A and B are shown apart, each in its own frame.
Chain A
Amino acid sequence: MSLVYAGICSHGPGITARADRADPVVRDAFYANLDKMRQDIVDAGAEAIIVIAAEHFANFFMNNMPAYCIGMADEYEGPIEDPEWLKIEKTKVPGNPGLSKRLITELMQTVDVAFSEEWKFDHGISVPLNFLTPEYDMPIIPANINCQGPPLTPLHRAWAFGEALRRACDSVPEKLAIVGTGGISHWPATPDSGKINLEWDQEFMDRFKRNDKDAMLSYSDEETYRDAGQGGYEIRTLIATAAAAKGAQANVHFFEPIPIFATSCFCASFEL
């Protein structure tokens, strides 16, 4: 077995961009848990991190939108956002194209995944990395699920993608971490930013914690849009991570609504 860590965390741009406007007690507790994730990944001996992300039109557009895509580059760059706005400097992030190629090859046994030898990170990956690999010294393999431009992949396919990713991880000798990053209920980048459906979030996190596949896959996109906003579509990244954990239960280390960060913020990891 080569998957040594699987966890999830939030990625909203406000987490860095609007840090000074959050309650410092809650914010710092969140940051401390992100730092604990960083340490747990290091302690697990991970040699690379696969980030299951929901990018926001940094690479993919409606001219050729892959449902799933994995990076296969030697290095990546980001964030695309104005660095003064996001409060993260533009940087290069190392990849591992050989490892990517082996993972993608195995994934393709069951999933028609796209791949890309160039990739620009946006806040969806840059914000988590700002906390999880602040020195940018860990190879990153980005794995994107289209959660932005409908039609979107069905939830049960996101689960299948996660299962395939686990099988691919188990087929290589490297010790790997998977970090899924997406929102639960939120209405990002709209006038409703900061609106949070806490009840919906608590219910989702309960299903996630139990790794209850049927319950997690039971949401329709219509229900999600109504109850959790367009940002709720990003649960695909969390569901894929749960699938990669192969039925393991999750520990939720942090879960608090932080409206100025536009979402309930969370850190959780699986007992692999």
Chain B
Amino acid sequence: MSLYYLQKVLYDINRNEQAQQKYRDDVDTLLNDYTLTDEERLALKTPDIGLLYVLGVNGQILMHFAAFHQIEWDDYLQAMRDGIAEHGEVREGVYAMTGAGENFTIDTEVQSD
């Protein structure tokens, strides 16, 4: 049940600039409006992208939250891999990792200096 509210707070932050400001200014008050476990609160406040991923947050919600935090794309992908290494497999939802942590883009990318 808790995953619903964990994703709900992220949904609200992702689409609402007032919620974004509240997250920056007074995150505890913002999070008090949702039913969350201590682990979920910590993951949201840190932010711990890897743990949020393992907890089952839909990737489309998580990707937008990572962008809000100015987390670069490669760092976002690595944070999810690190989360699995630290916390185990994705616990819920349909965004589980299926590729054993492989990098699927490196061979075709234009590499910057």
Contacts and interface: CB of A to CB of B under 8 A. Distances in A.
Interface in B34-70: 53, 58-64, 67-68, 70
B110 A20 contact: yes
A116 B99 CA distance: 38
A27 B58 CA distance: 28
A240 to B, nearest CB: 20
Given A81-B67, A82-B67, A194-B104, A188 B4 contact: no
B15 interface: yes
A260 interface: yes
Given A24-B110, A80-B64, A260-B109, A191 B11 contact: no
A192 B11 contact: no
B64 A81 contact: yes
Given A80-B14, A82-B68, A191-B80, A63 B8 contact: yes
A23 B110 contact: yes
Nearest to A13: B63
B77 interface: yes
A172 B14 CA distance: 36
A14 B105 CA distance: 12
A23 B108 contact: yes
Contacts of B96: 190
Contacts of B70: 82, 84-85
Interface stretch (A38-46, A54-62, A92-100, A162-170): A54-62
Interface residues of A, number: 43
A152 to B, nearest CB: 10
Interface string A162-196: 00000000000000000000000001111111111
B99 A187 contact: yes
Interface string A204-236: 000000000000000000000100011000000
Contacts of A258: 108
Interface string A96-120: 0000000000000000000000001
A63 B101 CA distance: 32
B17 to A, nearest CB: 9
A113 B34 CA distance: 30
Contacts of A193: 77, 104-105
Contacts of A225: 94
A260 B105 contact: yes
A61 to B, nearest CB: 5
Contacts of B80: 190-191
B97 A192 contact: yes
Contact of B99 (A61, A86, A191): A191
Interface of A: 13-14, 17-18, 20-24, 56-59, 61-63, 80-82, 84-86, 120, 122, 148-150, 187-196, 225, 229-230, 258-260
22 contacts: A21-B109, A22-B110, A56-B60, A56-B61, A57-B11, A57-B61, A85-B70, A148-B60, A189-B95, A190-B53, A190-B96, A190-B98, A191-B77, A191-B99, A191-B101, A192-B97, A192-B99, A193-B77, A230-B59, A258-B108, A259-B105, A260-B108
